[in-house]
């Protein structure tokens, strides 16, 4: 019975994580409709995305430490209720400012929810065999969430309206809240955990500055004074943050979390993977809607092969082999397969190429990413002291969020500049402007995708050279494990 409750607890945790991950992309397809309805300018519409990523990426480390301080279950449940309320507020927005504020609030509560969800998973499943299965499911959710968001966004926008891309979070969050109340362990805060206020201010300010800088680079250019000030200022704040963490009595990010070689490999790999993945999703969406003429629903359905590949890679490959073979023997082939997928996708032209290039590329990408990401999640949270599991989980989520922000800004800037140069070089008498525009856009997409492939190859190199464990660690590997069974008294 207790075992069944643990697996139902996994459903609750995975549902909450899915809501957080897909919310980073579900609004993308709805954005044109929201912009028209609320009369947003082209310059301001980006804040529908940026307000969420700024708050989420900037506050994750603080959210992770709050989970360690007051308890993971309480933080998880507060995050769910807050996320539901912010989503309802955004869906009812009567103006752009109200929507931007609601999206920022979503990010604040997601920063509480995401690290507590991952740390709950890590402390609920300590048996290596069960842990592999649980992390297989979780890894599939993490990897496929963005594609599921695009699919859901397409259906909701086309058949209801853009507001339902936000309203849909309310029933999901309430169901997860009820499940958390009934199934998750009490998991009170650890007495030795303390809130490092200077560290929280330095870390959050540094992350906010970096994420804001990368988001502004897309519209302002990388040489803009504000962008450079934000990026350099963010780097300086994070350097001071790192120095303070070596001296703080109870640091926000314990050095034991980032000194471990396996976790460093997992964090860096995750950062590079999401740099490539988020940029690729952006370009594939543009390619299918603007070049191939797909509707929002058809675009969402076209992403299903990635989801299928993710599920297979996570649950049927990585979960079965994680505790039988060294982690890098799963990560490196998975990342190389995903890099090969991007090499295939980067060769599309203006002619329809979904069946010949995009479909097989998506299947390969999902399979490779599902295998690599599930392994990275397990490495990032394995053998962490229970009092620091929130901080480790937050660091993993931060690597994802920052990677997504960097990837979107960097690859979109590359694509835009290449597109402009191509259009200028090929313009002339007798050239059809529409054909030229499509060819220039696809060329920019292809070049940026090659750069995304480079990020995955670098991730494979890091996995091959940094991750050297004979097997994936578990919480039982820590000197003083404190397993937290599921509360069976509720």
Long-range CB contacts for residues 161-165, cutoff 8 Å, separation at least 24: 161/33, 162/27, 162/30, 162/31, 162/33, 162/34, 162/37, 163/91, 163/92, 163/93, 164/91, 165/26, 165/27, 165/29, 165/30
pLDDT number for residue 376:
86
pLDDT above 70 (res 228) = yes
Greater confidence (128 vs 462) lies with 462
Query: Has residue 222 got a pLDDT over 70?
Result: yes
Both tokens of residue 86? 């912010």
| Under 8 Å between Cβ of 445 and 349 | no
Of 218-222, 348-352, 427-431, where does mean pLDDT reach its minimum? 218-222
On the 0-12 / 13-18 / 19+ scale of CB atoms within 10 A, 484 is: buried
- Mean pLDDT value across the chain: 81
Q: Is the pTM of this model over 0.85?
A: no
pLDDT digit string, tens, across residues 270-290: 889 988 887 777 778 778 877
Write b or e for each residue in 392-407: b if 16 or more Cβ atoms lie within 10 A of its Cβ, otherwise e. Answer: bbbbbbbbbbbbbbbb
pLDDT digits (tens, 9 = 90+) for 405-422: 777 777 877 887 888 888
The pLDDT assigned to 473 comes to 64
Residue 275 and residue 410 in contact, taking contact as beta carbons nearer than 8 Å: yes
Residue 360, pLDDT score: 94
Q: State the average pLDDT over residues 248-273.
A: 82
- What is the reported pLDDT for 190? 53
Instruction: Categorize the per-residue pLDDT at 481 as very low, low, confident or very high, splitting at 50, 70 and 90.
Output: very low
Q: What is the pLDDT of residue 490?
A: 38
Beta bridge partner(s), residue 188: 71
Q: Is the pLDDT of residue 131 over 90?
A: no
Q: Which of 47-56, 58-67, 120-129, 182-191 has the lowest mean pLDDT?
A: 182-191
What's the per-residue H, E or C state across the chain? CHHHHHHHHHHHHHHHHHHHHHCCCHHHHHHHHHHHHHCCCCCCCCHHHHHHHHHHHHHHHHHHHHHHHHEHHHHHHHHHHHHHHHHHHHHCCCCHHHHHHHHHHHHHHHHHHHHHHHHHHHHHCCCHHHHHHHHHHHHHHHHHHHHHHHHHHHHHHHHCCCCHHHHCHHHHHHHHHHHHHHHCCCCECCCCCCCCHHHHHHHHHHHHHHHHHHHHHHHHCCCCHHHHHHHHHHHHHHHHHHHHHCCCCCCCCCHHHHHCHHHHHHHHHHHHHHHHHHHHHHHHHHHHHHHCCCCHHHHHHHCHHHHHHHHHHHHHHHHHHCCCCCCHHHHHHHHHHHHHHHHHHCCCCCCCCHHHHHHHHHHHHHHHHHHHHHHHHHHHHCCCCHHHHHHHHHHHHHHHHHHHHHHHHHHHHHHHHHHHHHHHHHCCCCCCHHHHHHHHHHHHHHHHHHHHHHHHHHHHHHHHHHCCCCCCCCHHHCCCCCCCCCCCCC
CA distances from 327 to 36, 261, 318, 363, 472 (A): 48, 13, 9, 22, 6
Query: In the predicted model, is pLDDT for residue 87 greater than 90?
Result: yes
Q: Using only the alpha carbons of the chain, give its radius of gyration.
A: 22
């Amino acid at each position: 019975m207790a075992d069944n409750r643990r697996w139902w607890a996994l459903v609750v945790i995975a549902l909450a994580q899915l809501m957080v991950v897909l919310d980073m992309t579900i609004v993308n397809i709805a954005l044109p409709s929201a912009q028209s309805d609320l009369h947003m300018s082209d310059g301001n519409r980006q804040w529908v995305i940026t307000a969420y990523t700024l708050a989420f990426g900037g506050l994750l480390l603080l959210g992770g430490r709050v989970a360690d301080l007051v308890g993971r279950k309480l933080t998880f449940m507060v995050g769910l209720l807050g996320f539901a309320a912010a989503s309802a507020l955004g869906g009812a927005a009567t103006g752009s400012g109200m929507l931007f504020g609601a999206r920022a609030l979503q990010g604040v509560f997601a920063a509480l929810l995401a690290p507590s969800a991952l740390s709950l998973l890590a402390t609920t499943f300590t048996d290596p065999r069960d842990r592999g299965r649980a992390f297989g499911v979780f890894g599939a959710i993490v990897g496929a969430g963005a594609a599921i968001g695009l699919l859901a966004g397409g259906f909701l926008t086309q058949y209801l309206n853009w507001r339902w891309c936000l309203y849909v979070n309310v029933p999901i969050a309430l169901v997860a809240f009820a499940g958390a109340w009934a199934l998750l362990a009490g998991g009170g805060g650890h007495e030795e955990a303390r809130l490092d206020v200077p560290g929280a201010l330095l870390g959050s300010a540094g992350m906010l500055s970096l994420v804001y800088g990368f988001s502004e680079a897309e519209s302002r250019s990388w040489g803009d004074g504000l962008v450079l000030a934000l990026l350099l200022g963010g780097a300086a704040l994070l350097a001071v943050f790192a120095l303070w963490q070596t001296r703080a009595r109870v640091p926000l990010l314990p050095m034991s979390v980032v000194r471990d070689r396996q976790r460093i490999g997992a964090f860096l790999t995750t950062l590079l993977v999401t740099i490539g993945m988020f940029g690729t999703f952006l370009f594939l969406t543009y390619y299918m809607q603007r070049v191939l003429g797909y509707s929002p629903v058809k675009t969402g359905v076209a992403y299903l092969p990635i989801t299928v590949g993710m599920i297979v890679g996570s649950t049927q490959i990585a979960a079965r082999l994680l505790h039988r073979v060294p982690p890098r023997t799963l990560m490196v082939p998975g990342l190389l397969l995903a890099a090969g997928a991007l090499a295939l996708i980067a060769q599309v032209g203006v002619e329809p190429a979904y069946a010949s290039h995009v479909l097989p590329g998506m299947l390969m990408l999902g399979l490779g990413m599902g295998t690599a990401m599930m392994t990275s999640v397990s490495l990032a949270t394995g053998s962490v002291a229970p009092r620091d599991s929130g901080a480790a989980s937050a660091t993993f989520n931060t690597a994802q969020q920052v990677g997504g922000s960097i990837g979107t800004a960097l690859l979109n800037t590359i694509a835009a500049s290449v597109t402009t140069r191509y259009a200028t070089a090929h313009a002339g008498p007798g050239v059809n402007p529409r054909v030229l525009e499509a060819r220039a856009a696809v060329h920019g997409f292809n070049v940026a995708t090659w750069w995304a492939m480079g990020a995955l190859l670098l991730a494979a190199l890091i996995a091959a050279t940094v991750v050297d464990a004979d097997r994936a660690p578990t919480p039982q590997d820590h000197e003083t494990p404190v397993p937290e069974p599921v509360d069976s008294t509720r």
